[in-house]
Structure 1
Amino acid sequence: MKTRESSTAPSAQTDHHGRLLDAMALVAASQGLAATSIAAVVAEAGVSKRTFYEHFTGKDDCFLALYRAASGSALRTLREAVDPTQPWQHQVEHALGAYLAHLASGPQLVRMLFVEIHHLGQPGAEVRREVMQSLADFMLQTIQDRLALTPDRAMAAVGGIHELVLQAIERGEADHLERLAPEASAVVRLLAGAQK
């Protein structure tokens, strides 16, 4: 039974993992996932195929890890933008604006992630649902129990915002997603039963 080389430090493993995700992002954003090869990813990352397979089972596995990592980064931006001293409506709009601006900062990447995830069948659907659930949970935590936002309504809000983003991508407006913040906030307010 083979084991990893003991001389490989955990930090080097983490660095390789990050470099492979960055390489997947660059290659897939420019070529599309279908045209992306593992050879192109490892060449961009400057690592061997063996190193790739130490981290991922294949191209789709690497893409799903990238989707999770990119979504986690966007969710951190969302969380960090919340100012609990402000009314919840302001918190939501400000945080959604920061989240959408974060997505817009990498328009090719966000276009590829939002579109290609639908081509990965059940594994893609599961990871997409996991990410959407994290966003719905964030809404519930931010708004808390002050209004009528239920878990189902929070998921409906996330789905609505997701569709607004997809529509903007299809119109070629992925680099201006922050413009969706007022409409995205309106979706949340409506589903939360707010008057304004």
Structure 2
Amino acid sequence: MSTALAHTDPTGPQGFRTRLLDGLTRAIEERGYRDTTVADIVRNAKTSKRTFYGEFDSKEECFLALLRANNDAMITGIVSAVEPEDDWHVQIRSAATAYVDHIASRPAVTLSWIREAPALGAAALPLHRLAMGDLTNMLVDLTDSPGFRRANLPPISRPLALILLGGLRELTALSVEDGSDLRLILEPAVVAATAILGPRISSA
């Protein structure tokens, strides 16, 4: 079931934009991004093509806007779920749970972000780099907290953050494609994050 990405006046300019993004979300859930048409989007949004083209130049532009909004909502949800003063183990589980809850609420959009957006080529590259940069910054910030510092754990490095994020993205995509219960990825995500973010084994 699709969920609105923002709560706005449905009759105002931002309200129309939100309705169109929600309309695209429902279309992706029903038939996937590739087979979705602008007619599908406006039908779901209960508006017109004239309204659509007043907001977006193309289906592709609407898709990229949806993915940006979805990524922003995911980051906001994760950050809100984590209490910086909590023990670092608790923070990891809180962040992983918020991630799983988010993707479980919109698995089709998540899969489109991972699998279909790259097919847009150069048009999607800025979005991908922005999303991964924002997610990396989020992990660095979350691990630079009192709970991690009490355990003498430094903030995660950006290369390690990318490794963690990349593995989690692929596990997510495979789970959605297989129709698996997405909550089954919670424990592997916690274990992997704990191994990467926890005490380092000295090579000396």
Query: Superposed, which structure 2 residues align to 1:101-120 within 5 Å?
Result: 101-120=101-120
1:5 alignment partner in structure 2:
none
1:149 alignment partner in structure 2:
156
Gaps of 5+ in 2: 1-8
TM-score scaled to structure 1, two decimals?
A: 0.84
2:186 alignment partner in structure 1:
181
TM-score scaled to structure 2, two decimals?
A: 0.81
Structure 1 66/148 Cα, relative in aligned 2: closer, same or farther at 3 Å? closer
Structure 1 148/141 Cα, relative in aligned 2: closer, same or farther at 3 Å? closer
State the Cα distance separating 1:180 from its structure 2 match: 1.6
State the Cα distance separating 1:193 from its structure 2 match: 4.9
Gaps of 5+ in 1: 1-8
1:3 alignment partner in structure 2:
none
Query: Superposed, which structure 2 residues align to 1:19-98 within 5 Å?
Result: 19-98=19-98
Count of aligned positions: 186
CA distance in 1, matches of 2:76, 2:159: 22
Counterpart secondary structure, 1:120: helix
CA distance in 1, matches of 2:10, 2:155: 46
1:128 aligned onto 2:128: yes
Moved more, 60-69 or 92-101: 92-101
State the Cα distance separating 1:106 from its structure 2 match: 2.5
Please point out which of 194, 199, 202 is paired with 1:194. Answer: 199
State the Cα distance separating 1:170 from its structure 2 match: 2.5
Structure 1 107/148 Cα, relative in aligned 2: closer, same or farther at 3 Å? closer
State the Cα distance separating 1:195 from its structure 2 match: 5.5
State the Cα distance separating 1:108 from its structure 2 match: 3.2
Root mean square deviation, CA, Å: 2.3
Structure 1 27/148 Cα, relative in aligned 2: closer, same or farther at 3 Å? closer
Q: Which amino acid aligns with 2:184?
A: R
